[in-house]
C-alpha cells in the first residue's frame, strides 16, 4: 500500500515536472560534490579540450602535504573538502574533516571528527569515506563509525551519530567506508546496525531517523541512486545481497549476487542495467524491469578489487586486478588490457579516461574500445598506496594519496 501511494505521489510529481532530471542530484556547475561525482558515475559532464599532453605535460598548479586517508577530494565554489588523519604516536591520533582553498591548496579550516582508525597492516590509516556536501552542510563518516553534519563555512558540528554505540554496528575489518548520499531532505547511509538498521535515512537538517531497513553487517560499499521506469531508487550492496529501496525506504526488489562483498561500487549501464564486480569471481550485469532483477551477463574478464569501473558508450573501463581493461558491456569480450598502473583508479571526462596509477602517475587516454591510446602522462603525486580516485572540475584534476594532494590543470 505504501509502495502504491509512493508511486502515485512520484507520478504526480513527475507529471507536473517537479522531477525533471530523474534522480540526478542538483549540483552547482563546475563541482564534484560527492563520492565519484555526479550520480556516482565516476564521470564529469564537462568538456575536456584535447591537447598535446605528450610534449606539453599537464600543468601542476599546486601540491600539498596531507595526512593519511582515502577520501576523495570534493570541490565546490572554490573550496576543496576532504578527510585525513594525523597520528600522535603509533597507537593514537585523530581524523579530520577539512576545507582547502581550491586555488592554492592552503587549509581554510579543519574539524576533528573522531579518533584515528589505524590499519594494523600498515595499508593506510584514517578515513575511508568521502564526504558529501549540499548548499549548507558537509556530511562525513569516520573510519571508526562517527557520522556527522557540519557547516561548510567553518566545520561547526550540527549533529552526529555514532553507528557503533547507537545502532549496534560492528566495524568492518578494514574500517567503515560508506560515503553518504543526499536526496531531497535526506542523507542515506549503510549503518550495518542491528534490528533492521542496516541502511538508514536521516533528516539532513537535524540527523533524525527518517527510515531504516535491511539486515546485514557494514561492508565497504556505498549506496547508488538510479531511476528505472520513473521509479527513483537506492541500490545497496551488502554481502551477497543487492537491495533496492524507494525514497521512503520500502523494498522494491532484491537480488543475490554470485559473489560476496564487492568493494567496488555498482556501475549504472544505460537506464536499467547494473554492473557489479568483485576481485575473486569477476562480474555480473543485471537488468531491472518491473521491480525485478535478472542476470544478463556474467564473466571473469573484469575482477575489480576496490576501484570502481566507468561506463562509456557500451564499454566498461576498469581494473581487472591490476590491469586496466576495456570490456564490452554486451558480451564481456576483452577489447584491450594495459598494465602499468597497478591497482590504480580512473574517472571519465568527455570521452577520455583520467587514470591515476597506484603510485601517483596520472595518464589521459581515449575511452575507446579500439586500443589503449594514451594522450599524455605526468607524475602527479609521490608516494605509494594511491588508492583514491581523481576528482575533476573546471578543467582541473584533483588527486591525493596518503601523503600528498595536488591539482593539475588539463583545460
Partner 1 sequence: MAMAANAQNVDDIISKHIQAHGGAEKWNAIKTMEINGRFTAFSEENEWYAIKTSSGAYYSDLQIGQYKVKEAFNGTSGWTIDPWHEFTFPRLLNKVEDNVFHQKAEFFSPFYKYKEKEMKVEYVDEENIDGVDTYVLKLIKSNGLIETWYLNKTTYLEVKSISDWVDFGMRVSAESYFDDFREVDGLIIPFFTERMFGQRDRILIIENIKLNASVDESIFEMPKSNEMQKLAFLAGNWNVKVEIPGRNNTWRVADQTTSNAQFIATNNLQQNISVSEYYVQSMIINYSFYKDRNKYRLTIYNGFSSSTDLYEGAFIDGVFTADNTSVKYIDAESNAALLQLSIYNITSDAFMMEIKSSDDKGVTWKPSYKLSYSKK
Nearer Cβ to partner 1 (94/319)? 319
Give the shortest CB-4-to-partner 1 separation in angstroms: 44
| d(C-alpha 328, C-alpha 143), whole Å | 36
In sequence order, the β-bridge partners of residue 324 are 319, 338
Give the shortest CB-370-to-partner 1 separation in angstroms: 12
Nearest to 69 by CA among 140, 124, 131: 124
Residue 221 neighbours by CB under 8 Å, 6+ apart: 177, 178, 190, 236, 237, 238, 262, 263, 265, 266
Determine if 321 is a binding residue for partner 1 (CB under 8 A): yes
Determine if 13 is a binding residue for partner 1 (CB under 8 A): no
Q: Which one among 253, 387, 392, 398 touches partner 1, defined by CB under 8 A?
A: 387
Give the shortest CB-84-to-partner 1 separation in angstroms: 18
Answer yes or no: are the C-beta atoms of 310 and 43 closer than 8 Å: yes
**Part of the chain binding partner 1 (CB under 8 A), chosen from 161-169, 172-180, 211-219, 321-329:** 321-329
**Part of the chain binding partner 1 (CB under 8 A), chosen from 95-103, 249-257, 282-290, 332-340:** 332-340
**Part of the chain binding partner 1 (CB under 8 A), chosen from 5-13, 51-59, 115-123, 205-213:** 115-123
- x/- map, 262-291, partner 1, by CB under 8 A: -----------------xx-----------
Q: Which one among 322, 350, 351, 411 touches partner 1, defined by CB under 8 A?
A: 322
Q: Which one among 116, 118, 385, 399 touches partner 1, defined by CB under 8 A?
A: 385
Answer yes or no: are the C-beta atoms of 286 and 274 closer than 8 Å: yes
| d(C-alpha 296, C-alpha 334), whole Å | 17
Nearer Cβ to partner 1 (171/359)? 359
| d(C-alpha 188, C-alpha 202), whole Å | 6
Q: Which one among 305, 376, 396, 405 touches partner 1, defined by CB under 8 A?
A: 305
Nearer Cβ to partner 1 (142/345)? 345
DSSP per residue, 243-281 = EEE-TTS-EEEEEE-SSS---SPPEEETTTEEEEEETTT
Determine if 121 is a binding residue for partner 1 (CB under 8 A): yes
**Part of the chain binding partner 1 (CB under 8 A), chosen from 45-53, 211-219, 228-236, 381-389:** 381-389
Determine if 303 is a binding residue for partner 1 (CB under 8 A): yes
Per-residue burial over 264-300, b = 16 or more CB atoms within 10 Å of its CB, e = otherwise: bbbbbbeeebbbbbbbebbbbbbbbeebebeeebbbe
| d(C-alpha 376, C-alpha 365), whole Å | 7
Nearer Cβ to partner 1 (155/342)? 342
Q: Which one among 386, 388, 391, 393 touches partner 1, defined by CB under 8 A?
A: 386
Q: Which one among 1, 16, 52, 122 touches partner 1, defined by CB under 8 A?
A: 122
Nearer Cβ to partner 1 (225/346)? 346
Report the site for partner 1 in 230-269 (rule: CB under 8 A).
none
Determine if 61 is a binding residue for partner 1 (CB under 8 A): no
Nearest to 207 by CA among 140, 261, 305, 304: 140
At 163 the three-state DSSP class reads helix
For the chain, the first-to-last Cα distance in angstroms comes to 52
Nearer Cβ to partner 1 (105/342)? 342
| d(C-alpha 355, C-alpha 326), whole Å | 13
Nearer Cβ to partner 1 (245/317)? 317
Cα torsion through 163, 167, 171, 177, rounded to 10 = -50
Q: Which one among 199, 358, 390, 397 touches partner 1, defined by CB under 8 A?
A: 358
Count of residues in contact with partner 1, rule CB under 8 A: 21
Interface residues toward partner 1, by CB under 8 A: 121-123, 279-280, 303, 305, 321-323, 337-339, 342-343, 358-359, 384-387
Amino acid at each position: 500500500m505504501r509502495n502504491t501511494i509512493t508511486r502515485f505521489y512520484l507520478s504526480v510529481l513527475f507529471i507536473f515536472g517537479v522531477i525533471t532530471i530523474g534522480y540526478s542530484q542538483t549540483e552547482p556547475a563546475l563541482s564534484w560534490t560527492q563520492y565519484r561525482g555526479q550520480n556516482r558515475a565516476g564521470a564529469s559532464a564537462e568538456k575536456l579540450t584535447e591537447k598535446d599532453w605528450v610534449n606539453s605535460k599537464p600543468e601542476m598548479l599546486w601540491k600539498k602535504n596531507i595526512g593519511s586517508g582515502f577520501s576523495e577530494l570534493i570541490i565546490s565554489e572554490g573550496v576543496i573538502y576532504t578527510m585525513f588523519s594525523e597520528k600522535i604516536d603509533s597507537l593514537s591520533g585523530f581524523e579530520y574533516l577539512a576545507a582547502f582553498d581550491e586555488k592554492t591548496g592552503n587549509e581554510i579550516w579543519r574539524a576533528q571528527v573522531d579518533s584515528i582508525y589505524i590499519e594494523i597492516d600498515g595499508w593506510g590509516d584514517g578515513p575511508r569515506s568521502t564526504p558529501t556536501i549540499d548548499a549548507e552542510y558537509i556530511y562525513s563518516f569516520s573510519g571508526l563509525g562517527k557520522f556527522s553534519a557540519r557547516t561548510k563555512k567553518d566545520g561547526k558540528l550540527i549533529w552526529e551519530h555514532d553507528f557503533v554505540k547507537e545502532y549496534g554496528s560492528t566495524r568492518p575489518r578494514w574500517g567503515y567506508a560508506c560515503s553518504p548520499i543526499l536526496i531531497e531532505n535526506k542523507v542515506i547511509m549503510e549503518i550495518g546496525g542491528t534490528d533492521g538498521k542496516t541502511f538508514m535515512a536521516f533528516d539532513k537538517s537535524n540527523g533524525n531517523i527518517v527510515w531504516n531497513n535491511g539486515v546485514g553487517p557494514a561492508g565497504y560499499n556505498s549506496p547508488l541512486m538510479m531511476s528505472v521506469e520513473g521509479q527513483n531508487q537506492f541500490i545497496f550492496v551488502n554481502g551477497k545481497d543487492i537491495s533496492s529501496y524507494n525514497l521512503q525506504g520500502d523494498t522494491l526488489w532484491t537480488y543475490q549476487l554470485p559473489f560476496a562483498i564487492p568493494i567496488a561500487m555498482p556501475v549504472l549501464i544505460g537506464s536499467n542495467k547494473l554492473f557489479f564486480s568483485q576481485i575473486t569471481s569477476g562480474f555480473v550485469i543485471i537488468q531491472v524491469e518491473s521491480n525485478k532483477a535478472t542476470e544478463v551477463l556474467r564473466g571473469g574478464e573484469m575482477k575489480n578489487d576496490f576501484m570502481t569501473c566507468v561506463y562509456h558508450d557500451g564499454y566498461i573501463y576498469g581494473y581487472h586486478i591490476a590491469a586496466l581493461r576495456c570490456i564490452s558491456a554486451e558480451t564481456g569480450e576483452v577489447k584491450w588490457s594495459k598494465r602499468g598502473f597497478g591497482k590504480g583508479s580512473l574517472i571519465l571526462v568527455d570521452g577520455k579516461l583520467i587514470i591515476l596509477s597506484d603510485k601517483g602517475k596520472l595518464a589521459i587516454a581515449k575511452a575507446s574500445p579500439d586500443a589503449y591510446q594514451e594522450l599524455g602522462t605526468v607524475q602527479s603525486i609521490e608516494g605509494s598506496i594511491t588508492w583514491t580516485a581523481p576528482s575533476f572540475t573546471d578543467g582541473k584534476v584533483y588527486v591525493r594519496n596518503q601523503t600528498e594532494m595536488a591539482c593539475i590543470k588539463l583545460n
